[in-house]
Structure 1
Amino acid sequence: MKLYHYPLSGHAHRAALFLSLTGVPHELIEIDLSAGEHKQPAFLALNTFGEVPVLDDDGVVIADSLAILVYIARKVGPSHWLPTEPAAEAQVQRWLSVAAGKTAYGACAARLITVFGAPFNAEEVIGRAYATLAVMEQTLRDQRWLASTAQPTLADIALYSYTARAPEGNVDLASYPRVQAWLRQVEELPGFIPFQRTRAGLDA
């Protein structure tokens, strides 16, 4: 497998993290977003949206980080990462939707402002990040993992990267001890790889 990625992208990191956690052999190919490589014909042939990450599994091309997580989980076979029991699978899907919506337009967007100069409304996206963190904190009150499972799932992988680097977007994690404990649990998983830090926001 080849994973086209960019080290400062949380979307790319969640895909690379899951490949590492599952032990799937793969090659990381960096796409230089600052040089516009993602807008060149060769890359657009892989993903017409011009976004990382993209997974190429011997000619089977999967674009979108969450689609990549599901694809890898199905490739490795039945596991705790993507439960097949309907209620548990629905819980995982719920959190994948949070990753694609509330996190993308919350903690992710806040970080895009400070790291990449994105023209978002800081107050709005930071407020959305805190609202999502509050729900995560409440969810983790009586359970270790987001999808109410005994072991980690794709839900935890999908939410990890941008939550871990939320302070780079001026989102303070100090008031969310359960979220912080959950982050440490993910970081203790065999095969964990960290998301590259930047000196931005509260981490400047």
Structure 2
Amino acid sequence: MSNAIRIHRHPLSGHSHRVQLLANLAGISHELVHVDLMQGAHKKEPFTRLNPFGQVPVIEDGDIVVSDSNAILVYLARKYAPSWLPQNAVAEAEVQKFLSIAAGEIAYGPAAARLITVFGASLDPEFCATVSATVLGKLEAHLDGREWLVGSTPTIADIAIYSYTAHAPEGNISLDAYPNVRALLARIEALSGFVPMAATPIGLAA
């Protein structure tokens, strides 16, 4: 494992899961390093030497340190799994669009709704539900007649939206009205090397 990428993560973090998922699907050698978020390990040394912003995930690839889950996805795809990031400028721009959606509407919708129910976060559930309905509706429409978000094969766009969308029901965000979205999630789950994110007990203290 000496040449393996070290993924500093927490098993209940969807941002962490998307990095682990790509590594598994692409066959990238890696080891998981647990960061105890519940004890605040991400806000103090030695972790803050890796990421002064105090957030997981972070990867170490030899002397290289990369933080932010979407940035890590791009890095890993560029260096180790080029088939997961199109080289065509238009297709790559499309992938970047969905990375922005993952960091924006999905983060403020399904991911935030899950923070309320699972971790007791003080957020507005109605706002989260509204944002969730908007972004899931957009994804549903985009996926009409498509198997993947961009092109004819899975990309890091699909990985970026997977974790928090798949776990949206934990935040009381139903996926029943979005068959195309559910079909995409099922296709991702059917890929060789898929690894699920840990299920989270409702009411877990932050």
Give the alignment's TM-score, normalised by structure 2: 0.94
Match of 2:68 in 1: 64
Q: Secondary structure at the match of 1:146?
A: coil
1:54 aligns with 2:58: yes
Aligned partner of 1:193 among 190, 195, 206: 195
1:45 aligns with 2:49: yes
Match of 1:32 in 2: 36
Q: Secondary structure at the match of 1:152?
A: coil
RMSD: 1.0
Mapped partners of 2:173, 2:98: distance in 1: 20
Q: Secondary structure at the match of 1:61?
A: strand
Match of 1:74 in 2: 78
Give aligned pairs, total: 199
Residues 149-168 of structure 1 deviation map (CA, whole Å, 9 limit, x = unaligned): 11001100000000000000
Match of 1:180 in 2: 182
Aligned partner of 2:25 among 21, 43, 59: 21
| 1:52 partner letter | V
Aligned partner of 2:165 among 163, 166, 179: 163
Give the share of equivalent positions with the same residue, in percent. 51
Q: Secondary structure at the match of 1:45?
A: helix
Q: Secondary structure at the match of 1:41?
A: coil
Aligned partner of 2:155 among 136, 153, 156: 153
Aligned partner of 1:133 among 133, 136, 139: 136
Mapped partners of 1:78, 1:52: distance in 2: 24
| Contact map agreement 2:59 2:67 (CA 8 A) in 1 | yes
Aligned partner of 2:145 among 126, 142, 155: 142
- Structure 1 segments, 4+ long, off by >6 Å, are none
Change over 3 Å in CA distance of 1:77–1:181 after alignment to 2: closer
1:3 aligns with 2:15: no
| Contact map agreement 2:6 2:32 (CA 8 A) in 1 | yes
Q: Secondary structure at the match of 1:62?
A: strand
Q: CA deviation at 1:59?
A: 1.6
Residues 140-193 of structure 1 deviation map (CA, whole Å, 9 limit, x = unaligned): 11111112x110011000000000000000100011111111100000111100
Match of 1:117 in 2: 120
Q: CA deviation at 1:77?
A: 5.0
Q: Secondary structure at the match of 2:50?
A: coil
Mapped partners of 2:81, 2:117: distance in 1: 39
1:105 aligns with 2:112: no
Structure 1: gaps of 5 or more residues? none
Structure 2: gaps of 5 or more residues? none
Q: Secondary structure at the match of 2:104?
A: helix
